[in-house]
């Protein structure tokens, strides 16, 4: 194994430990600087984000798309550098940095229900904030994919679980754990906008374009009744605003296509709260239906 690969894990751990100790305001300032550097160098993330924005919003003028891209890179940098601090600090620290919670009644109603709760948290704002904030208020089980870098898993997993969240692997054992949690009337957390393998997804419109979309939520809802909520933590000065909204009722449809289409409509609604805070640098449209060309 190359020396660079051996050093990568320890160097990233050092980086995480360093930024875990830097207060939120300066870490965000460093993050914005990182985003500006990414823009200047036209890194891969910029190129992918630009393609996604062009693909999803063909009628949007170039100036508007470039403005969203510019702001997105600044938010991407802030997400990277503020997250070690989020993982490192206590639930009380996080609570003090939640400026407002919109739709709290939606969350409380689901929490007080006898049914379980499926929390769908798209890649927007800082999704790590959502998981840690929820875990302080409810029993929650979330899918977890270990980092690919050796030596990083223990640090990240311990950080995510310190507020009481339970993490389960992205395999059949993990899915079974999610179902059991729902049947106990507990909450589960899922990131709904990752591209799944073909055998775990179906194509559904996302911003008017076909996107391979997970069928996991549909399959869980076939096995048990549950409340379905979308949630995001949007970055604002001094912390975050958390937003809850109920999913489109069609997500409960027995028809898979209707269900996954409703899921994507929820992702669109959350992304629309702040387009520049959505993770446009992810290759969401890698897989395309037969007859469609890759946009990348």
Sole residue written with tokens 């305001």: 25
Residue 33 inside a domain? The answer is: yes
Average pLDDT of the chain is 92
Q: Which of 53-57, 147-151, 224-228 has the lowest mean pLDDT?
A: 147-151
pLDDT surpassing 60 at residue 4: no
Query: Each residue of 75-103: pLDDT tens digit?
Result: 999 999 999 999 889 889 999 999 999 99
* 243 neighbors 126 (Cβ within 8 angstroms): no
Number of domains in the chain: 1
Q: What is the mean pLDDT of residues 244-267?
A: 98
Residue 285 inside a domain? The answer is: no
20: Cβ contacts below 8 Å, ≥ 6 apart: 84, 85, 87, 88
pLDDT surpassing 80 at residue 180: yes
The predicted structure's pLDDT at residue 17: 86
Residue 283 inside a domain? The answer is: no
- C-alpha R_g of the chain: 19
Residue 147 inside a domain? The answer is: yes
pLDDT surpassing 50 at residue 237: yes
DSSP-H helix ranges across the chain: 3-20, 24-41, 44-56, 62-88, 91-96, 104-112, 127-135, 153-161, 172-183, 216-223, 256-271
Residue 82 inside a domain? The answer is: yes
Residue 218: burial class (beta carbons within 10 Å; 0-12, 13-18, 19+): buried
The predicted structure's pLDDT at residue 145: 79
Q: What is the mean pLDDT of residues 275-293?
A: 95
Residue 185 inside a domain? The answer is: yes
pLDDT surpassing 50 at residue 2: no
Domain limits for position 184: 3-277
| pLDDT tier for residue 8 given thresholds of 50, 70 and 90 | low
Residue 17 inside a domain? The answer is: yes
Residue 286 inside a domain? The answer is: no
| pLDDT tier for residue 224 given thresholds of 50, 70 and 90 | very high
| pLDDT tier for residue 151 given thresholds of 50, 70 and 90 | low
Q: What is the mean pLDDT of residues 54-71?
A: 97
Q: What is the mean pLDDT of residues 103-121?
A: 95
């Amino acid at each position: 194994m190359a020396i660079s690969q051996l050093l990568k894990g320890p160097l990233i751990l050092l980086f995480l430990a360093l930024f875990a100790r830097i207060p939120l305001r300066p870490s965000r300032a460093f993050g914005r600087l990182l985003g500006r550097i990414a823009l200047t160098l036209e890194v891969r993330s910029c190129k992918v984000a630009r393609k996604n924005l062009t693909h999803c919003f063909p009628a949007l003028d170039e100036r508007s798309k470039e403005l969203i891209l510019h702001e997105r890179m600044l938010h991407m940098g802030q997400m990277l550098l503020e997250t070690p601090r989020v993982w490192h600090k206590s639930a009380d620290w996080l609570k003090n940095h939640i400026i407002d919670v919109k739709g709290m009644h939606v969350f409380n109603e689901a929490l007080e229900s006898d049914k379980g709760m499926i929390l769908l948290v798209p890649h927007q704002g800082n999704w790590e904030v959502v998981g840690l904030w929820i875990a302080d208020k409810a029993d929650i089980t979330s899918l977890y994919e270990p980092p690919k870098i050796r030596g990083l898993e223990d640090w990240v997993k311990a950080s995510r679980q310190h507020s009481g969240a339970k993490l389960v692997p992205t395999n059949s054992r993990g899915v079974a754990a999610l179902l059991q949690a729902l049947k106990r009337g507990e909450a589960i957390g899922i990131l709904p906008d990752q591209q799944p393998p073909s055998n775990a997804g179906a194509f559904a419109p996302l911003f008017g374009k076909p996107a391979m979309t997970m069928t996991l939520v549909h399959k869980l809802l076939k096995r048990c009744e549950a409340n379905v909520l979308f949630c995001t933590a949007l970055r604002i000065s001094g912390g975050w605003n958390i937003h809850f909204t109920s999913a489109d009722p069609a997500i409960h449809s027995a028809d898979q296509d209707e269900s996954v289409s409703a899921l994507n409509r929820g992702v669109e609604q959350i992304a629309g709260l702040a387009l520049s805070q959505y993770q446009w640098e992810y290759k969401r449209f890698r897989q395309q239906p037969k007859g469609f060309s890759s946009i990348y």
